[in-house]
Amino acid sequence: MRNEHGYVEYVQARMRWLRQLAYGLCGQWSAADDLVQECLVALYRHWHRASGADSVDGYVRAMLVHAYLAERDRSWSRRVSPVAEVVGVPPAPQVDAEHRVDLLNALAQLSRGQRAVLVLRYWEDLDVARTAAALGCSTGTVKSQTSYAISALRRLLPNYQPGGADTP
């Protein structure tokens, strides 16, 4: 019934990307690993549909983002915050070392939706249409949320000068 071999191959090949995307969304490796696990369970249940999609990565990205955004509705996610981090995790994309902590703290202060838009647009380097597809919203919403999120980051980080013109 299920093509478990295809599922296993996909997960093995894309696990690092999934964890990095989840980390970008969550900001903590422990929460990212939980999010990836939740997504992989759902992906297994829907592998027949996902494997037939035009872009399996796009399908899985949307699943991961939707799972992340749905966490705000779970009361336990607001109360439980593990302290220990996983050892030996791959590094996140590079930011100037002196600004990394400030940037991560500022991202944590954004709403989940704004953080998701920034992670998809600038970390995943998706265009507006693909970001909208991953979030299940209009391109106008992506543009406005990107603008609001960047404005919020500028207020939170008034002295931060990004390394590239395309970064917030």
Q: In this predicted structure, what is the pLDDT of residue 54? A: 93
Q: Please work out, in degrees rounded to the nearest 5, the angle formed at the alpha carbon of residue 119 by the alpha carbons of 118 and 123.
A: 115
State which CATH number among 3.30.70.3270, 3.30.70.360, 2.30.30.90, 1.10.10.10 fits the domain covering 91-160.
1.10.10.10
Which CATH fold would you assign to the domain 1-79? Rna Polymerase Sigma Factor; Chain: A (1.10.1740)
Q: In this predicted structure, what is the pLDDT of residue 76? A: 47
Q: In this predicted structure, what is the pLDDT of residue 158? A: 84
> Which residues have a Cβ under 8 Å from the Cβ of 80 and sit 6 or more positions away?
none
Q: In this predicted structure, what is the pLDDT of residue 90? A: 47
Q: In this predicted structure, what is the pLDDT of residue 159? A: 79
Buried b (16+ CB within 10 A) or exposed e, 8-46: eebbeeeeeebbbbbbbbbbbbbbbbbbbebbbebbeee
Q: In this predicted structure, what is the pLDDT of residue 68? A: 93
Q: In this predicted structure, what is the pLDDT of residue 102? A: 81
Q: In this predicted structure, what is the pLDDT of residue 72? A: 62
Helices and strands (DSSP H and E) totals, the chain: 9, 0
Q: In this predicted structure, what is the pLDDT of residue 92? A: 47
- Structural domain boundaries in the chain: 1-79, 91-160
Provide the residue-wise pLDDT of the chain in tens; the chain has 168 residues: 457 899 999 999 999 999 999 999 998 899 999 999 999 999 999 999 999 999 999 999 999 999 999 876 554 444 444 444 444 444 444 456 667 778 888 888 999 999 999 999 998 999 999 999 999 999 999 999 999 999 998 898 887 766 544 444
Q: In this predicted structure, what is the pLDDT of residue 83? A: 46
Nearest to 26 by CA among 82, 68, 85, 61: 68
